[in-house]
Amino acid sequence: MSISHTVPPDSSRARADKVLATAFPEHSRVAFQRCLDAGLVTRNGKVIDRSAEVVSGDELIFSFPEVKSSEIKAVDIPINVVYEDKHLLAINKAAGMVVHPGAGTGDDTLVHALLAHCEGELSGIGGVERPGIVHRLDRETSGIMLVAKSDAAHRGISEQFAARTSHKQYLALVDGVPSLLSGSLHKPIGRNPTQRHKMAVVEGPGGRDAHTDWERVEVFGGNLASLIRCTIHTGRTHQIRVHMKSLGHILLGDVVYGWKASPRLPVQPTRMMLHAEHLVVKHPITGKVLDLRAPLPKDFEKMLKGLRKLEKPAATMIKRGLRSPKGPQ
């Protein structure tokens, strides 16, 4: 269905996507950019692209791309649900689960599982390959992930992430012990210029603003390892991994960024030890604050248990939110 809109009198010259998003606030600017990219927007009868600007009196006619059904089959894979309503789903993602299909993946991704769990009730904004996915976690990272069931929920959560009004905390086990109790990292992150599968701190062109606050929670074996709580204010790829490496403390098990097995460790990690522990957002429809927590998985608990045997926990604990010797609940 085509929709017509005439730019109001006395309007300033502006990009078409911005004008349409203002006139139709129920749809996002990104949605109109997709319309423009698909050649589905005309100005005074001529097709325009996303760089086009419009002025007072211009007639814009647009339609939205047809939403295609996902060709990915639903697979009944168990998922750990933390919260669910008709708009949103929050899960505690298992370490080792890939979020969405790609080269080399099978039919065991989170998207396959979501298609079965939600039975067709997933936002289409994420596209055919990753319906409902608002944000992602790396394959080896466990913890809280949000999934949108409606387009309105998808837009609302995405806007909170873009505006940096959400609250995201992770727990990381790292090699060594930072000399400070806490700190704040403002280091831009971009693609590693020589190893394209990795990210790096990049000053200058290619580096994007990245901000991580961190604090020591617990230390083990003198200077062997430490448990760090990270609060991220931006969502760059591999942000915590890159920032902690820049401090000289690689995440245990993170072989991509240079971790090597240590015979001093009582338990060897079987994956990168990073867990998305805590997420606070406003419900995009009701406005209610959602305070979501994901309990630590068994492999993370096993690592902590082994490390704590190295010396008495009472001598090494820094009481910053740990509710019991087992860690956050």
Cα–Cα distance measured from residue 227 to residue 241, given in angstroms and rounded to the nearest whole number: 14
User: Which tokens is 323 given?
Assistant: 């509710």
**138 catalytic, yes or no?**
yes
Q: Do domains 3-62 and 167-316 have the same CATH topology?
A: no
Res 122: pLDDT: 86
Res 313: pLDDT: 46
Q: Quick one: 175 exposed, middle or buried, by C-beta within 10 A (0-12, 13-18, 19+)?
A: buried
Mapped onto helix, strand or coil, the DSSP state of residue 219 is strand
- Which CATH code of 3.90.850.10, 3.30.2350.10, 3.30.70.890, 3.40.50.2300 fits the domain covering 167-316? 3.30.2350.10
**In 10 A of CB 156, how many CB atoms?**
21
- Which CATH code of 2.40.128.640, 3.10.310.30, 3.10.290.10, 3.30.70.2740 fits the domain covering 3-62? 3.10.290.10
Cα–Cα distance measured from residue 123 to residue 212, given in angstroms and rounded to the nearest whole number: 30
From first CA to last CA, the distance across the chain in angstroms is 50
Cα–Cα distance measured from residue 125 to residue 131, given in angstroms and rounded to the nearest whole number: 7
Task: Tell me the pLDDT tens digit for each residue of 218-254.
Answer: 999 989 999 999 999 999 999 999 999 999 999 999 9
**Angle between helices 16-23 and 29-37 in degrees, nearest 10:** 130
Question: Kind and range of the H or E element at 190?
Answer: strand 189-191
Q: Which of 17, 58, 138, 299 is catalytic?
A: 138
CATH of domain 81-163: 3.30.2350.10
Task: Tell me the pLDDT tens digit for each residue of 54-74.
Answer: 999 999 999 887 655 457 788
Res 164: pLDDT: 92
Res 19: pLDDT: 92
Task: Tell me the pLDDT tens digit for each residue of 128-144.
Answer: 667 888 898 999 999 99
Whether the Cβ atoms of residue 227 and residue 166 lie closer than 8 Å to each other: no
Return the domain boundaries, the chain: 3-62, 81-163, 167-316
- Which of the residues in the chain have pLDDT under 50? 69, 313-320, 323-329
